[in-house]
């Protein structure tokens, strides 16, 4: 193939591949969590609910103030809300149990909202 043509096609592929991947990620509902980001009627109440769930299910590993004990410190988490929800929901194999059966998406969102308040 003509080298110039090959180069142009390679550049086109380089641009199209990420674009297609992003379009797929946006469009395909495979990655869409259930609608758990619906605006909470009362953020303070949601956070308080999350604090309650945290105390019931998380504090014995992460400490009452979430500064870490058996589990890690949860203050100033640098991961996205979606990622926090995913971890709470699915756990971490060998390290943290899954809470998918104990808490529904709204409750996990509340826990996430509470964790976001930890400075």
- 26, with CB counted inside 10 A (0-12, 13-18, 19+), is exposed
Between 14 and 56, CB nearer to another protein = 14
Q: How far is the CB of 46 from another protein (least distance, A)?
A: 19
Q: How far is the CB of 42 from another protein (least distance, A)?
A: 24
For residue 6, the SS3 value is: helix
Whole-number Å distance between alpha carbons of 89 and 70: 19
Between 40 and 81, CB nearer to another protein = 81
H-only helix segments in 58-104: 59-62, 81-90
| Residue of 42, 64, 70, 95 that binds another protein (CB under 8 A) | 95
Whole-number Å distance between alpha carbons of 77 and 55: 18
Whole-number Å distance between alpha carbons of 45 and 64: 19
* 13 belongs to the binding site for another protein (CB under 8 A): yes
Q: Considering only residues 29 through 48, tell me which ones interact with another protein, judged by CB under 8 A.
A: 29-33
Q: Which residues bind another protein (CB under 8 A)?
A: 1, 3, 5-7, 9-11, 13-15, 17-18, 21-22, 24-26, 28-33, 72, 77-80, 82-83, 86-87, 89-90, 92, 95-96
């Amino acid at each position: 193939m003509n080298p110039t043509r090959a180069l142009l096609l390679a550049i086109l592929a380089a641009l199209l591949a990420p674009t297609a991947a992003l379009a797929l990620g946006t469009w395909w509902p495979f990655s869409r969590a259930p609608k758990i980001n619906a605006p909470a009627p009362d953020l303070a109440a949601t956070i308080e609910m999350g604090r309650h769930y945290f105390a019931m299910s998380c504090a014995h590993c992460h400490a009452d103030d979430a500064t870490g004990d058996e589990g890690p410190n949860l203050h100033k988490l640098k991961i996205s809300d979606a990622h926090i929800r995913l971890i709470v929901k699915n756990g971490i194999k060998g390290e943290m149990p899954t809470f998918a059966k104990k808490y529904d998406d709204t409750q996990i969102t509340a826990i996430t909202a509470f964790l976001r308040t930890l400075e």
